[in-house]
Amino acid sequence: MKNKHNFEVKIVFDNNALPGFQSGWGFGAIIMNNYSNNILLFDTGAGFPKLAHNLNKFNIEVEDIKKVIISHTHMDHAGGLMSLVTINPKIELYLAYSKKDYMSNQMPSDVKVYGIKDITEIEDNIYCSKELGTGIPEISLFLKSEKGIVIITGCAHPGLENIMENAKELGKIRAVLGGFHGFDKLYALEGIDLIAPCHCTSNTKQIRKKLPNNFVEIKAGSTLIF
């Protein structure tokens, strides 16, 4: 591995954005895996035009994306997917098992669709969580870095504490980022090096106040290195 770090996470869709990037309600993150040299996309935001703009700002081509993981099928996370796979039908698509048939019927025939039930390593040191939640089935992404597990969530509808419990099967949690929704069990975040809530998180101010030394603000255009 040439790079000293394991992963780069680039926020390509969020409610807020750095100058030059476009904002919109939703979430999307590029993961550059330095173990495999592959580029993955976790969620696609609410629509393709803003996603494409932000990818371009990072000098990332749609054709370079190897795999797409959809946390859940709400439009603010899957809204850019159809345009994405139309441009690049070689993409591998991962999503909650209970949504596999529903999404497979909408995809171009060349797109390989994988339904996730349990923790699954989809490539070197990158795992999908098990499917959690009943009303809103959801999966998250776990990056296994040398210093611990990095959790990336879409909205954490099943409860961030439940996602964290699942991640602990792989090792100590190093970082949590993404949408936390209404998560309020802030004590569960103690001991985590980096906490970066965005998108739908309703208790961002409380998290920042309780854990100011671990809190990191992220938005479209942000890059985190692990």
Give the pLDDT confidence of 47-65 residue by residue, as tens digits. Answer: 999 999 999 999 999 999 9
- Distance from C-alpha of 143 to C-alpha of 205, rounded to nearest angstrom: 26
Q: Is a pLDDT exceeding 70 seen at residue 2?
A: no
- Distance from C-alpha of 26 to C-alpha of 17, rounded to nearest angstrom: 12
Has this prediction a pTM greater than 0.85? yes
| Tokens representing residue 161 in the block | 């504490």
Q: What are phi and psi of 207, to 5 degrees?
A: -65, -45
How large a percentage of the chain has pLDDT more than 90?
Answer: 97
Residues whose CB is less than 8 angstroms from the CB of residue 99 and which lie 6 or more positions away in sequence, other chains included: 70, 72, 73, 115, 137
As beta bridge partners, residue 112 has 92
Where along the chain do its domains lie?
7-221
In a 13 Å sphere around the CA of 108, the CA atoms on its Cβ side amount to 14
Residues whose CB is less than 8 angstroms from the CB of residue 71 and which lie 6 or more positions away in sequence, other chains included: 27, 42, 43, 77, 138, 139, 140, 141, 153, 154, 155
Mean of all residue pLDDT scores within the chain: 97
Say what the pLDDT of residue 16 is: 98
| Tokens representing residue 64 in the block | 């370079």
- Distance from C-alpha of 103 to C-alpha of 99, rounded to nearest angstrom: 6
pLDDT digits (tens, 9 = 90+) for 187-209: 999 999 999 999 999 999 999 99
pLDDT digits (tens, 9 = 90+) for 120-150: 999 999 999 999 998 999 999 999 999 999 9
In the CATH scheme, what is the homologous superfamily, with its name and number, of domain 7-221?
Ribonuclease Z/Hydroxyacylglutathione hydrolase-like (3.60.15.10)
Q: Is 127 left (phi over 0), alpha (psi -120 to 50) or beta?
A: beta
**What average pLDDT does the segment 2-24 reach?**
93
Instruction: Based on DSSP, count helices (H) and strands (E) in the chain, helices before strands.
Output: 6, 13
Q: Is a pLDDT exceeding 70 seen at residue 3?
A: no
122: nearest Cα among 156, 91, 162: 91
pLDDT category of residue 1 using cuts at 50, 70 and 90: very low
Q: Is a pLDDT exceeding 90 seen at residue 225?
A: yes
